[in-house]
Chains A and B, each alone.
Chain A
Amino acid sequence: MTLTAMGFDWVRQLVHRESAIVLQPGKEYLVEARLLPMAQQLGCAGVGELVDSVRLHPDPAKTRRIVEALTTNETSWFRDGDPFTALTGTVLPKLLAARGPSDRIKIWSAACSSGQEAYTIAMLLSDALPHAATRVQITATDISRQMVERTRAGRFSQLEVNRGLPAAMLVRHFTRNGNEWEIAPALRQMVTASECNLAAPLPPLGLFDVVYLRNVLIYFDLPTKQAILTRVRQLMRPDGWLFLGAAETTLGVDDNWERVVVGRGSAYRPRKGS
């Protein structure tokens, strides 16, 4: 079944609400083309069935995939650069000073998509703090098995490496393989990828020093946001740092976090005694 007028309108409103992007009437074909792979993967007969099922049985994970399929083909590398400059400029130097020389520093890229965020962190570390890179372990998780496998592979299309990856970093850290670009093995080894549903009890991933949880909370209702933030806090060290998306905050959601200014952006730290 193709998309009904009601289905298209629902998608239009969803995308506008979550991303401020306006899908003009007449873009039905675009919605069809972009959502067809997801519909097939989920065993729906068509895009119409997919949209109807999510419309009638709300599911944040599927909603997020619909919005992502319609808003970006490719994830940017230095999407909102501030959380990355804060990492090498402030956060890691502080953590390295606070930890013992043999302590591991653990960073979590939650909802990692195809791995751009995790590898951005790995590249920055190996460029800015090469002596510390060996002490850092990056965990990348996503709800989608396909995304986890893509992250593990560390291979990106031409269009993907075009999205906000500085050319100097591209030539330094990637090699061409056919019409794809492959991340350097040393950087791939810094990243461990696994499946994880943030909206359910979390697997034992260890204790993290830094968590990137960006552009995920916007898809959930208030009680689920609170539950996710609580579970994430339980997996963080008391002096850890949490980075959210530019349009996200813990304020008014969960009082157990303290908002701190880092560089030109902000981060959240577990409130003492919480």
Chain B
Amino acid sequence: MRALVIDDSRAMRRIVGTILTDFGYEVRQAGHGREALDVLESGSAEGWVPDLCCIDWNMPVMDGLQFVFAVRANPAYRQVTLMMVTTESETGQIVKALAAGAHEYLIKPFTPDALRDKLALLGLLPEGAPA
């Protein structure tokens, strides 16, 4: 399985990336929404479409919500599952992200187990992922 981790914090990209890699994912990264759209576009050209995007909300250039709108507007990415991974945690923000087309929402801070639970909910936990 493939994942694109989008966060302006390198530390957070590394944390989420490490957990996903341990679960058996092949991970690419982007530092903001615009860069992530570029990764998606160049990836598609070589047949690399992610199963999952983990998306921070507050980022420079293009934020996570704008990215969700942009991906949902492109039928080529219909199969991609979008999960917000952000410290934004008001009910209104979660509703806004879900309405824009995000499938799930993980609030920072989170434990590896919490990420694992969300993947299990989404049916995106690779078989044989270590406990």
By a beta-carbon cutoff of 8 Å, the part of chain A in contact with chain B is: 20-21, 72-74, 76-78, 81, 158-159, 161-164, 166-168, 170-171, 174-176
Separation of A20 and B118 alpha carbons in the complex (Å)? 21
User: Chain A residues with Cβ under 8 A from B91's Cβ?
Assistant: 171, 174-176
Min distance, Cβ B71 to any Cβ of chain A, angstroms: 17
B87-131 toward A: CB 8 Å interface, digit per residue (1/0)? 001110011001000101111011101100110110000000001
Which of B113, B118, B121 is close to A72, meaning CB atoms less than 8 Å apart?
B113
Q: B121–A78 contact, CB under 8 A?
A: yes
User: Chain A residues with Cβ under 8 A from B131's Cβ?
Assistant: 20-21
Q: B98–A158 contact, CB under 8 A?
A: no
Q: Which of B1-36 contact A (CB under 8 A)?
A: none
User: Chain B residues with Cβ under 8 A from A21's Cβ?
Assistant: 131
Q: A171–B95 contact, CB under 8 A?
A: yes
Given contacts A162-B107, A162-B110, A163-B113, contact A176 B94 (CB under 8 A): no
Q: A164–B117 contact, CB under 8 A?
A: yes
When C-beta atoms are compared, the residue in chain A nearest to B102 turns out to be: A167
When C-beta atoms are compared, the residue in chain B nearest to A20 turns out to be: B131
When C-beta atoms are compared, the residue in chain B nearest to A175 turns out to be: B91
Min distance, Cβ A134 to any Cβ of chain B, angstroms: 26
Given contacts A76-B117, A78-B121, contact A167 B111 (CB under 8 A): no
Separation of A170 and B90 alpha carbons in the complex (Å)? 11
Q: B107–A158 contact, CB under 8 A?
A: yes
Q: B120–A162 contact, CB under 8 A?
A: no
Min distance, Cβ B64 to any Cβ of chain A, angstroms: 14
